[in-house]
Amino acid sequence: MLFFKKKRIDLKELFPKGFVDIHSHLLPGIDDGAKDINQSIDLIKKMRSYGIKNFITTPHVLGDVYPNSSILIKEKLNVVQEALEKQQIKDITIRAAAEYMMDEQFVSLLEKKDILTLKDNYVLVEMSYFSAPFNLFEILFELQLKGYKPVLAHPERYNFYHNDLDHFYKLKKAGCLFQLNLLSLTKQYGTQVQKTSSKLLQENLYDFVGTDTHHSMHLELLQEIGTEKIQQSIAHLLENNKMFL
């Protein structure tokens, strides 16, 4: 029935001019995102076709799994910037920070203040999908004592918080800003994640959004967020992301 049909919109209409994607895995061969420079460029071009032209890409920094140093991340960023230049792609800006797992290694990077920020003092952090670190609130306290502002990646994806909204209020109270994964609004991570993201939206707990793009499949799925209803619910967050330009 036509009445129930969602009103679709083009992603180019959804993303405002000056929007910055603050969460993605576009640097070649250093995490579970782009495997090589060709994939990096293809992902960027695809997102450009959606109207996303500014990126702060955020490779994982995660213990021994992805022990990416700040120096390596900067080197890989250079590789991408040079490839874009070589291909005469001039309407894209790309910088790099990181998505830090809040583990012991992160605590020692913090002690050295060897942290790549999204902009100014904003730091993108995540935790395991199985459980929060036992010293989570100490880490968040320490981070802010050093002058940083934690931006918690995809809070809706931590299943162990799904049963009680109070967990999220506690994190906000402890100084966390929240970054919604746009794909959480689809069924990509399951219906519980989707439900939690709409609850957190209703409660007005989010501050920013990110695509968390790892590969081209994510970008195919991203087209599903092109509806008027979703546009209305996240327009203010898309605007907030402009502050990272």
**What does each C-alpha distance from 177 to 47, 149, 156, 212 come to in angstroms?**
25, 8, 13, 16
Q: Which stretch binds Fe ion (CB under 5 A): 44-52, 144-152, 162-170, 210-218?
A: 210-218
Closer to Fe ion by Cβ: residue 211 or 229:
211
User: Does 156 participate in binding Fe ion (rule CB under 5 A)?
Assistant: no
Closer to Fe ion by Cβ: residue 141 or 190:
190
User: Does 31 participate in binding Fe ion (rule CB under 5 A)?
Assistant: no
CB 42 → Fe ion: shortest distance, Å? 18
Positions in 54-73 near Fe ion (CB under 5 A): none
Two tokens, residue 169: 């209020």
CB 25 → Fe ion: shortest distance, Å? 6
CB 225 → Fe ion: shortest distance, Å? 17
Q: Which stretch binds Fe ion (CB under 5 A): 92-100, 112-120, 139-147, 163-171?
A: 92-100
If binding means CB under 5 A, how many residues of this protein chain bind Fe ion? 2
Is residue 209 a contact partner of residue 14, using CB atoms and an 8 Å limit?
no
Which amino acid is residue 198, in one-letter code? S
Residue choice 61, 110, 212, 218 for contact with Fe ion (CB under 5 A): 212
CB 86 → Fe ion: shortest distance, Å? 27
CA torsion angle 172 165 203 190 (round to 10):
110
Closer to Fe ion by Cβ: residue 156 or 212:
212
Residue choice 31, 41, 52, 99 for contact with Fe ion (CB under 5 A): 99
Closer to Fe ion by Cβ: residue 53 or 214:
214
User: Does 21 participate in binding Fe ion (rule CB under 5 A)?
Assistant: no
Residue number, nearest CB to Fe ion? 212
Residues that bind Fe ion (CB under 5 A): 99, 212
